[in-house]
């Protein structure tokens, strides 16, 4: 039975433990849904699993945007994702490359994630409210090749600080809205020819996402 709960921080001096008195005992409770377990395939790449039943339900809603009320059917979502896959490939993204999504909650987040998955690329997600230093620490640690973001965050990307990276030369920036100078518009991805998306052999065990911590007690880390 568990009797010790630890709270860890990056500063060892601030670490503390909560120990139950000897005359008290703890109990373990496991909450289980009354519904049967949901089968999750472990032999399919992410995008294949998500669109596995596309042919059966092409017109059913897939994405619902609360901010605008716009919706995308499964067929529409799949098509845009394929276009983004082709667009990323045309920008030089290959299997195993990392794409950084520096985005708020939006449809383009899904298109980017699934499009990258379709060509075997990996997506790392960064908090738009992070500082320049925090963003580029994650960018360098993940070895990202491109950043998909919104125009309001571009100023954070123009000066990588201690990094030797040069904006627009060593990495591309794509914005989902009106692109500032030196940036590309998301349409270079979403309007690409979906038939030009390369056929890539993807093992279900290949990485598809590279998440970092929120950075509550320090810089975000993988």
Model confidence pLDDT, tens digit, residues 92-109: 999 999 999 999 999 999
- Give 118-132 pLDDT, tens digit per residue: 999 999 999 999 999
Of 164, 133, 129, 165, the residue nearest 149 (C-alpha): 129
Specify the 3-state DSSP secondary structure of 149. strand
- Burial zone of 54 (CB within 10 Å; 0-12 exposed, 13-18 middle, 19+ buried): middle
Average pLDDT over residues 28-44: 84
The residues near 83 (Cβ < 8 Å, ≥ 6 apart) are 115, 189, 190, 191, 192, 193, 194, 197
Q: What is the pLDDT of residues 60-73, one digit of tens each?
A: 999 999 888 999 99
Mean pLDDT, the chain, integer: 87
- Confidence band (pLDDT; 50, 70, 90) for 6? very low
Predicted confidence (pLDDT) at residue 12 exceeds the cutoff of 70: no
Helix, strand, coil percentages (3-state) for the chain, rounded to 5, are 30, 20, 55
Is the model's pLDDT at 5 over the cut of 80? no
Give the pLDDT of residue 150.
98
- Predicted confidence at residue 187, as pLDDT, reads 98
Hey, what CATH class is 46-196 in? alpha beta
For 81, residues 6+ apart whose C-beta sits below 8 A from its C-beta are 47, 110, 111, 114, 115, 118
Res. 215 pLDDT band, cuts 50 70 90: low
Q: Where are the domains of the chain?
A: 46-196
Q: What are the DSSP E strand ranges found in 95-185?
A: 98-102, 122-125, 144-149, 172-175, 184-185
186, 108 contact by CB (below 8 A): yes
In this prediction, residue 7 carries a pLDDT of 39
- Statement: residue 1 has pLDDT above 60: no
In this predicted structure, the answer to whether residue 11 has a pLDDT above a threshold of 50 is no
Least-confidence region, from 28-42, 56-70, 207-221 = 207-221
Note the Cα 24 to chain centre separation in Å: 44
The pLDDT of residue 158 is above 70: yes
All residues at 6 or more sequence positions from 138 whose CB lies less than 8 Å from its CB, including other chains: 100, 124, 126, 130, 144, 212, 220
Q: Is the pLDDT of residue 57 over 70?
A: yes
Tokens of 163: 């990094």
Higher pLDDT, 26 or 204: 204
- Of the two residues 222 and 178, the one the predictor is more confident about is 178
């Amino acid at each position: 039975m568990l009797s010790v709960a630890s709270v860890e921080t990056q500063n060892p001096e601030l670490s503390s433990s909560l120990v139950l008195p000897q005359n008290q005992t703890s109990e373990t409770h496991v909450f289980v849904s009354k519904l049967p377990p949901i089968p999750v395939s472990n032999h399919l790449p992410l995008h294949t699993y998500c669109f596995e039943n596309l042919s059966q339900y092409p017109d059913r809603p897939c994405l619902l945007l609360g901010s605008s009320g716009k919706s995308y059917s499964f067929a529409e979502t799949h098509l845009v994702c394929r276009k983004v896959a082709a667009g990323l490939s045309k920008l030089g993204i290959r299997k195993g490359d990392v794409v950084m999504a520096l985005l708020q909650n939006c449809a383009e987040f899904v298109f980017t994630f699934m499009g990258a998955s379709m060509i075997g690329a990996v997506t790392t997600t960064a908090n738009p409210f992070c500082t320049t230093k925090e963003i580029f620490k994650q960018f360098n640690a993940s070895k990202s090749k491109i950043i998909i973001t919104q125009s309001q965050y571009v100023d954070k990307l123009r000066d990588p600080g201690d990094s030797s990276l040069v904006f627009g030369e060593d990495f591309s920036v794509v914005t989902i809205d009106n692109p500032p100078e030196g940036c590309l518009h998301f349409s270079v991805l979403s309007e690409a020819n979906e038939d030009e998306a390369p056929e890539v052999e993807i093992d279900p065990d290949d990485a598809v996402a590279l998440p970092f911590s929120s950075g509550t007690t320090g810089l975000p880390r993988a």
